[in-house]
Amino acid sequence: MIAGKKLVLGMLVSAFVPSVALAEEIALFVKTPVKPEHRDRYMEAVRSNLVETRNEKGARRFDVYQDATLPDVFYQFEVWSGADAHAAHLKKPYAVAAAGARKNGQAGESEVIRLVPYRSSAAEKVSEDRVEGSQNLIVVFEPKEQLKEEFLSEFDKVAKESRKADGNLAFELYRSTDPEGKFVLYERWESPAHYAKHIATPYVAEFYKHFDAVVNQRVKYIGKDLAGK
């Protein structure tokens, strides 16, 4: 009888495995072009959304950036504790308002990449006093399939050093689930000077010497955090 109960208990635990998977961290990268005449209204809605969303328990990271050279292009990068937390966020009135502002003001289709952490995420909320003047980068790339493992092995080395570097606030890699095959690198540095110092290090120089040979394409986005004053 005891053995039978253990078997039933084991079956019940197995049945809940998919639910546990839903709690795994997820992320999104969204690129949105906005009509110039709607830019100010869009930014106002976004800032209101930022303040409220960053207080949500399930929001590991929620950043919106204005492109450093194209003021009508915005990037949203968000990390959630799980799919349930993200679904609950989308129903919040401030999230609905921001989505409406984006829909009414965008100048074309948004690019959306759905992501999960590569290995594990180091996502931590950055205090507001470290946002102003920060250097923020999002790099989207696609490693060549036959060289993917080689690339990731080298990336692990540079990531370890980068996270210890002076001025680094985030250095995280995510892999895409929709569309598949892409990776997104998220970096935040206290200032452009800290980032420049990082780029000049031998370990980064060695890494980028091989980078172009192992990826099919790379797009780098640099933006100003809209949470800054």
In angstroms, the CA 187 to CA 168 distance is 8
What is the average pLDDT value for the chain, to the nearest integer? 83
Q: Which value, to the nearest 10 degrees, does the dihedral of the CA atoms of residues 30, 189, 61, 110 take?
A: -10
pLDDT score for 4: 44
Length of the chain: 229
In angstroms, the CA 218 to CA 16 distance is 39
pLDDT score for 52: 93
pLDDT score for 64: 93
In angstroms, the CA 51 to CA 9 distance is 44
Tell whether the model's pLDDT for residue 53 goes beyond 80.
yes
pLDDT score for 16: 30
**Residue 59: both structure tokens together:** 């929001």
pLDDT tier at 152, thresholds 50, 70, 90:
confident
In angstroms, the CA 227 to CA 48 distance is 10
Using the structure block, give the residue that is written with the tokens 């003047």.
133
Q: What's at 141, amino acid-wise?
A: F
pLDDT in tens, 70-122: 999 999 999 999 999 999 999 999 999 999 998 889 998 899 999 999 876 66
**Residue 12: both structure tokens together:** 């019940």
pLDDT tier at 17, thresholds 50, 70, 90:
very low
pLDDT score for 2: 41
In angstroms, the CA 58 to CA 1 distance is 42
Query: Over pLDDT 90: what percentage of the chain?
Result: 55
Contact between 46 and 192 under an 8 Å Cβ cutoff? The reply is: no
Phi and psi, residue 166, nearest 5°: -60, 125
Phi and psi, residue 92, nearest 5°: -65, 145
The predicted model gives 53-69 an average pLDDT of 92
How many other CB atoms are found less than 10 A from the CB of residue 95? 17
pLDDT in tens, 163-221: 999 999 999 999 999 999 999 999 999 999 999 999 999 989 888 877 777 888 789 99
